Structure 1
Amino acid sequence: MNRIVILINRFMYALLISAYITIANAAPTVVENPSAYRAEKVKATEIFVDTNKLKSERIKAYPRLGYPDEKTFERLVQIGLDKNEDDQIRLLALQRARYDLKYFDAVLKILDDVNDGGELLNAGLINDISRRTTFRHSAEIRQRLQHALRDRLKDTRAQVRLAAYYALVPTHDVVSISNLVESLRTGNNIPIPIHNAIELLDVDGSAKHIVTIRPYLNNQDPKIQAQAARALAIDAKSRKQIIALVTNLESPQVVRENAIRALAREDEEFFSYALKLLSNKGNSPDIRLATMRASMGRINYHKVSSQLQVTFTRVVKNLSEEKGLKTQKGVDLTAEARHLFLHMRKRVPAVRKSIGG
């Protein structure tokens, strides 16, 4: 479930970040006087719901909104339904609205009308309502939402279509999954980018879709090959090829990193090549960092012999003595390796006995 949440959040972050950069960067208001603080919240709410204000003013006020009262909740839904409003304002209003039948009906009314709102509004609403509709809600509510989302699987707007698949597939919806499987098998009319489709089938359970995904392990698009490698790590027939991708210095970084993480989870022989990846100075700091972290994950969640734990710690120690290792994102690999070495030496009995603590 955590992976599903991360997956959806990652998709929507990429979709909405450019539209909401102003909001994301808005500094939180700090007011020592509670009365003044409440007054500012009220003022911000008044500005946001005022259609006569400039869009820029309303968006600037949005992060400072107070908790809406009943009247404001109703006003937010009205704004969301108003076709004359800016799409970004409409989406923000409905995201702030209380989840109740009025909110639910308003969102479905917008989604049911392909001419109501643009791509950003519809994709954003799909994410919002699917995230907020949980199994605690009635079967009728969930069925209505499922029906509305299925209608959007054939939407002509790419981001709306993608949002609908990201909402439905993690719930193991048979219609959306069947669409992806059939289109990936034939290679025709694939409704969303291939790497997204493979990622979603992995979320549904890659063991059920091995035959469908296998051909894409040879795809030359790094994003597609990376997702295929991640999904197929569970497949014994594909593992030799995936390991070859991991150990090949010429393989794209995104492919190697995804494969490393998946193999650490699935391959009992992971350390037979992971230790070599860590030791090989020809590998980039990014690959060595991914390998070190994945190795530690395997030690934490799988049975790993004391001897392997000691060997891994010695390799990490050597890594910690290399100078100036930093990833593309600026992570200090040398420092992280040093921290991990000290942790292993202190916390793992076999390491403490062999190396000393």
Structure 2
Amino acid sequence: MGRRDHGYGWGVSDATFVKPGQDYDRDMDYIPDRITRDARKPDHGPVEGDLWPVEPGRYRLVAAPACPWANRSLIVHRLLGLEDVISVGRPAPTHDERSWSFDNDPGGTDPVLGIHRLQEAYFARVPDYPRGITVPAIVDIPTGQVVTNDFPWITHDLFFEWTELHRADAPDLWPEDLREEMEEVMERVFTEVNNGVYRCGFAGSQESYDRAYDRLWAALDWLEDRLTGRRYLMGDRLTEADVRLFTTLARFDAVYHGHFKCNRQKLSEMPALWGYARDLFQTPGFGETIDFDQIQAHYYVVQRDLNPSQIVPKGPDRSVWTTPHGRESLS
């Protein structure tokens, strides 16, 4: 039996709900609304909530740089050139049980939404919203209400529904001829790697941890092999699959190796994955969204069940991310 994460995506009380023998089970029940062209029925995916129209300047993407799920939205937003179309609010990396907050902004208030806690936007939509106050979230600026926090569909729809507002040279993150294979790869990356590190970190027993550890490293070995002969997950083209893997790799040595006990090897000891991660980090749109100080502050300070002292490690050396990766020849 798995335990459901009804906290803050991965907040202060994540480990509190783990009972002996249980496996970590992420709650994927999000606000299912979607933003589409003219609020039309989208061509892809389910329609289980309301539809909102694409409208430049109307929405604010609230995405904490500390969070890997929010980080992917920051990367896609930047790759597509939507900075002047959808504004961005960045909550601080540490928070209490109530909500992500804007402590890094002047006066501790988001300058566009005028709120201190993201919780306020959720409550504006659903008073006493009962589930996790998660990021990323898209907020309707005129009403101050959260529209959606369904992170896989947020980045999907930024690509497919906001197309006319992309910058002229925006990458094709969902090549039509690769989509079927992409979906298979992204599903494995999500279940075994993105979520796999949490399955290790929040395991409720030694047996649960051992299972999680073996699953994670089986997937990382598969990725090491896959990336040995190709520059990106899908070959010589950068896709959303790479965005989704990168946000976990960027946090691996800094957090997951020690804090989540994913310690068979460091990322820097896996030649293909390490070169691939640096290649992406040095690609415009990726590295500038990474804030290692905020990443480490969140995990080591907020997750007190795993780190009661709240001491934040000084290492590893971050300058290694800008060293040559040598993967250009694989294109």
TM-score interval (norm. to shorter): under 0.3
Q: TM-score, normalised by structure 1?
A: 0.24
| Structure with more contact order per residue of length (Cα contacts < 8 Å, sep ≥ 6) | 2
Look at both structures and tell me which one has the larger radius of gyration over its CA atoms: 1
**Structure ranking higher in helix proportion:** 1
